[in-house]
Amino acid sequence: MSLLTWLILVPIAGALVIMAIPREREELHLPLGIALSALPLALAGYLFYAFEPVPGFQFTESVPWYEPWGISWSLGVDGISMPMVLLTTILVPIALGASTGIKNRRKEFVANTLLLEAGMIGVFLALDLFLFFVFFEAILVPMYFIIGIWGSDRRRYAATKFFLYTAFGSAFMLAGIIALALAHSAQAGSVSFALADLMTVELSQGTERWLFAAFALAFAIKVPLFPLHTWLPDAHTEAPTAGSVLLAGVLLKLGTYGLLRYNLGLFPEASVDAAWIMGVLAVIGIVYGAVVAIVQPDLKKLVAYSSVSHLGFIVLGTFALTSGGLQGAVIQNVNHGITTGALFLLVGMIYERRHTKQISEFGGLQKVMPIYAGFFLFMVFASIGLPGLNGFVGEFLVLVGSYATLPPLAIIAASGVVLAAIYLLWAYERVFTGIPEKEENKALSDLSPREIGLLAPLAILVLVLGLYPNILLDKIAPSTEQVLDHVEASTGYEVPEPGRLGDVFVAGDGR
């Protein structure tokens, strides 16, 4: 078995280890869970180190699962999925570290989180559509329990809504996968669900559009794209901190990753045709999410709606179909996971102290909790996209990349950056500046070393990716260029001149 299989099996084994520890030894579960989740992080770190900046899949492996159906355990990693695997393995230990507040059935909580990790890694690594679907759908269960058991008051409603919404979308994708595989077997004479095989299927224009829509619906719900976003504020707000971090940090990315990998890869013609529609939906999401975030009285809901806005940038970049757009989309996947994950951690920390998330309950916290305020402001700036921090890189690439092909949308999307500054800075002002008036706020303790330890790695990543994005972009670029090559080769589409390479930040030999 090779590295990628281990990446999936190690968290599953970790979950089994946790389940094997008696319930009475509850002081062991969380530390051991964190230690066990460091193993996949180490594997992913090695993956990052050993990953060659060349196009195509690396570390591939394939074992037949059930040959008559042509399904196989096929894994591989490229510049689009590698950053996502790394992000997942970074966020899981942090999310577990932030879960000391969970006293109730801690053992099951840790095991669920590790199973969730295995599923998320599996989605990013799968190169067989059957296998991909299995992981895509299977992660619903641990997340469902994480929201539904350890969430806040309306957790049952939120968990069920989350589950049903996503299952609804994937139902169409399942029909699409079956249709695509049958079309392949009719043409090639052999059954296969391998991504590489299915990419060669010749589809009529009508069929391709239907299949594009089926896949896009599943991913658009996951992203979520306007108007399919209504599950997100509920799920985010009701989930425990660890759940929100992983939901925003990784689960939403399954949608943007799917659009990039499967919609562009399998249905290039339809993707080119639908670029405007997807772009318009993305921009509506950017503006709508931002405007709704401005008026949220609840800090956690504000961050949740900011996700709707930020994820819109990623979708816009994907369907800009330019070098900058795609690279921006991939790196923004990572950036959003880091900054929004950190913001959810921060909201969780204040909630543990005050048991409220209402912005109006706070004020003047800067004076009482300077370190906390410092981290919060730093992450707010990263999220807004201050130059020098990671958010800037991704949003800039997306805007430049989409201006080449979808100029009006890029212009409107740019307003999202301004709106982000409004809702985040205004929230910061109301929570942190001024003099603390409420008695409860005056006695708040600042961050503990443990909490600083959770936030510091994320803050460092924000700086590293902001100052030297090529550490990732060098490895991303060959794969996104390959996606563009594939789209160009299989359609009449040509990336307009300023959109292909030569953009700022684009990795090349001369750098």
Site of interaction with other proteins (CB under 8 A): 65-66, 68-69, 130, 133-135, 137-138, 140-141, 144-145, 148-149, 155-156, 159-160, 163-164, 167-168, 171-172, 174-175, 178-179, 181-182
- DSSP state string for 228-251: S-THHHHHHHHS-HHHHHHIIIII
Q: Are 368 and 446 in contact (CB under 8 A)?
A: yes
Query: Minimum Å distance from CB 43 to other proteins?
Result: 22
Q: Are 420 and 383 in contact (CB under 8 A)?
A: yes
Query: Minimum Å distance from CB 63 to other proteins?
Result: 12
Give the span between the Cα atoms of 420 and 428, in whole angstroms: 12
- DSSP 8-state code for residue 54: S
Give the span between the Cα atoms of 153 and 171, in whole angstroms: 29
Which residue number, 201 or 293, has a Cβ lying nearer to other proteins? 201
Query: Minimum Å distance from CB 168 to other proteins?
Result: 5
Which residue number, 171 or 386, has a Cβ lying nearer to other proteins? 171
Phi, psi of 303 (to 5 degrees): -65, -35
Q: Which residue bears the tokens 């950190």?
A: 342
Which residue number, 65 or 276, has a Cβ lying nearer to other proteins? 65
- DSSP 8-state code for residue 126: B
**Helix or strand or coil: residue 62?**
strand
Which residue number, 116 or 272, has a Cβ lying nearer to other proteins? 116
Find all residues with CB under 8 Å of 62, minimum gap 6, and list them.
72, 73, 74, 75, 127, 128, 194
Query: Minimum Å distance from CB 137 to other proteins?
Result: 5
Which residue number, 220 or 286, has a Cβ lying nearer to other proteins? 220
- DSSP 8-state code for residue 127: -
Helix (H) / strand (E) containing 311: helix 299-320
- DSSP state string for 348-398: HHHHHHHS--BGGG---HHHH-HHHHHHHHHHHHHHHT-TTSHHHHHHHHH
Could you tell me which of 319, 485, 482 has the C-alpha nearest to residue 405?
A: 319
Neighbours of 233 (CB within 10 A): 23
Query: Minimum Å distance from CB 379 to other proteins?
Result: 32
How are beta strands 71-77 and 58-66 bridged, if at all? Answer: antiparallel
Query: Minimum Å distance from CB 47 to other proteins?
Result: 25
Length of the chain: 511
Query: Minimum Å distance from CB 232 to other proteins?
Result: 18
Q: Are 161 and 234 in contact (CB under 8 A)?
A: yes
Which residue number, 220 or 283, has a Cβ lying nearer to other proteins? 220
Which residue number, 208 or 451, has a Cβ lying nearer to other proteins? 208
Give the span between the Cα atoms of 180 and 173, in whole angstroms: 10
Neighbours of 357 (CB within 10 A): 21
Query: What radius of gyration do the chain's Cα atoms show?
Result: 22
Given its phi and psi angles, is residue 151 left (phi above 0), alpha (psi -120 to 50 degrees) or beta?
Answer: beta
